[in-house]
Structure 1
Amino acid sequence: RPGAAPPSAGPAVMGLDGGAGALADAVAGAVRAAGGQVFLCTPALALTRTAHGWEVRTAARTLACDAVVIAAPAWTASTLVAAAAPAAAAELCEVGYVSTAVVTMAFRRRDVAGLAALGDWSGFLVPPAAGRPGRAPVTASVKASTFMTAKWGWLAGRAPDLFVLRTSLGRYGQEESLYLDDDDLVGASLHDLRAATGLAARPVASHVTRWIGGLPRYPVGHRARVARIRGALAALPGLELCGAAYDGVGVADCVASGRDAADRIMGGLVCDGFVSKTCGST
């Protein structure tokens, strides 16, 4: 169309140099630089309302906080708010999750040269039942694949002789694949990749990661449930929830959720120009 920018020769999707884990490291570094503390491997075991705010109990210590943001899976949030907000805890228990297995594989570039799909695509999605018109559906093991080298330029620059991709297996109600051993998951992935792209090469390295309860699912009525949860917590100042269980599962959604929760917390802590610095998050 007139005025449209010419297509870029670079990757279609931008990413963080070093991967998404770099974002968590950067956040932790910013907290420390601002004088905050980050406690690693320290699960929150209990949350108690006090006359001056909240107490967060861990195995090693009890933290006194003016405010708390719970950025954790819904089942953990349910346990923590059960004493102070049983109605919210009951709703949080009903948020469902899906478990997935992710198979990451690296191929020699020369072994995948000439495969148009790997050069032109950044990946593909597979519907629950895929098949041709007039034929019975065929259920695939792989539900999605990301061609990481094609999608993220930083990875291509760091491993120029390799083509790295990953597959995801496991759907809601079809999570039996997670119980296969690693070799079987790699084999299932290679089978479906060959059917989808023509890839016949063997990987030079592979790694399987299982994310148990890793992805929230939003059935009909999810927004109403979230509204009820927030309504039940409204009477408890200094307590907020954020994360993938509420308003979106993407990174941008979670960042926005965290910012909104922090803004509400800080708005409640500002009093006569003074902002307390004993805030906590879990």
Structure 2
Amino acid sequence: MTHLQPTPDGWEVKAQSASGTEHSLLARHVILACPAPAQARIVAPVDNEASEALHGIPYGPVVVVCTAWSKGSWSIDPEGFGVLLARNEAQRIGGIDGVLGMLFTSSIFPDHTHSDEVLIRTILGGSIAPEIFEASDQELIARARRAAAICLGPERKPPNMIRVYRHPAGIPQYRVGHPARVATVRAAETRHPGLYFIGNHLEGIGVKDCARAGLEVATKITARHPSDPLSPPMPVERSP
């Protein structure tokens, strides 16, 4: 989005596609569901207080190591949601410092992998171990495999697939003063009817929190303007 400006009937919105083509539309309601830095940039010409509050929300870098094994690769096949690790526990064990936890993805979402495979997402870094973001892929993979072995038993077979994904701004940090920053953003919604802010940097970092926030905004809009038609989606080209 390159432009957001209030009009007598709502908002003028402009956005640029990956190829440089600019699209524009008029909207009665605008929901900003992008990360805090993008929201801060977009809303700066409209509400400087909200922009500054959003700029004040930091993010911690996160690495996700996705690993697929054949079932039976350990003495215990993972079941349930996953494992969370306290930093002092990871340090005490040794060899897995920086590991925040593991998600047993194939247990949570069986359709995400083959029926004879186990998929685990190991999450490392965050604000407590930001230095791990600079580690090599080999080091990150080694820590992820060691964490799995500690929880599930010695590795009997090597992984079938390993991918490493780095997210420089992975997890928003709710530091001292966060409620005041959120209150400033919510006050901007009152000052600018039809403008809404949602995202995991405001009132909950989980997917369920984001889904709840989206539903709440949709409910507000339909309750206030039950006869408003939905605007057609703006065509946006994806980068190759």
The answer to whether 1:150 aligns with 2:103 is no
Q: Does 1:188 align with 2:147?
A: no
Which residue of the partner structure matches residue 13 of structure 1? Answer: none
1:231 is aligned to 2:193:
no
Distance 1:204 1:280 in 2: 40
The answer (yes or no) to whether the contact 1:88–1:232 under 8 Å persists in 2 is yes
Whole-angstrom distance in 2 between the partners of 1:146 and 1:97: 21
Partner of residue 19, structure 2: none
Unpaired stretches in structure 2, ≥5 consecutive residues: 17-21
Matched, 1:57 2:14: yes
| Whole-angstrom CA distance in 2 between matches of 1:121 and 1:58 | 42
Alignment coverage as a number of residue pairs: 228
Q: The residue matched to 2:5 in structure 1 has which SS? A: strand
Partner of 2:73: 111
Q: TM-score by structure 2 length? A: 0.83
Measured against aligned partners, the alpha-carbon deviations of 1:240-259 in whole angstroms (never above 9, x if no partner) come to 11121211122221111112
Q: CA deviation at 1:89?
A: 0.7
Q: Is the 8 A contact 1:240 1:265 kept in 2?
A: no
**What letter is aligned with 1:56?**
V
Once the two structures are TM-superposed, the CA of residue 262 in structure 1 deviates from its matched residue by: 2.1
Tell which deviates more after alignment, 200-209 or 259-268: 259-268
Could you tell me which residue of structure 2 aligns to residue 101 of structure 1? Answer: 63
2:65 counterpart SS class = strand
* Equivalent-residue separation in structure 2 for 1:196 and 1:177 (angstroms): 21
Query: 2-side partners of 1:208 and 1:160: how far apart?
Result: 23
Q: Deviations over 1:68-87 (max 9, x none)?
A: 01111111111111111111
TM-score by length of 1: 0.72
Greater CA drift, 174-183 or 75-84: 174-183
Q: 1:123 aligns with which of 63, 79, 82?
A: 82
- Which of these residues, 70, 73, 95, is aligned with residue 35 of structure 2? 73
| Matched residue SS, 1:76 | helix
Residue 250 of structure 1 is matched in structure 2 by: 206
Distance 1:221 1:279, change over 3 A: farther
1:14 alignment partner in structure 2: none
Measure the CA separation in 2 of the matches of 1:262 and 1:280.
16
Letter in 1 for 2:13: V
- In the other structure, the counterpart of 2:159 is 203
Deviation, 1:173, is 4.7
Once the two structures are superposed, residues 178-197 of structure 1 have per-residue CA deviations (whole angstroms, 9 ceiling, x without a partner) of 22332332122112333343
Q: Match of 1:275?
A: 228
Deviation at 1:236, TM superposition (A): 0.7
Q: Deviations over 1:131-169 (max 9, x none)?
A: 79xxx68572311012223333434xx523222212111
Q: Distance in 2 between matches of 1:211 and 1:171?
A: 10
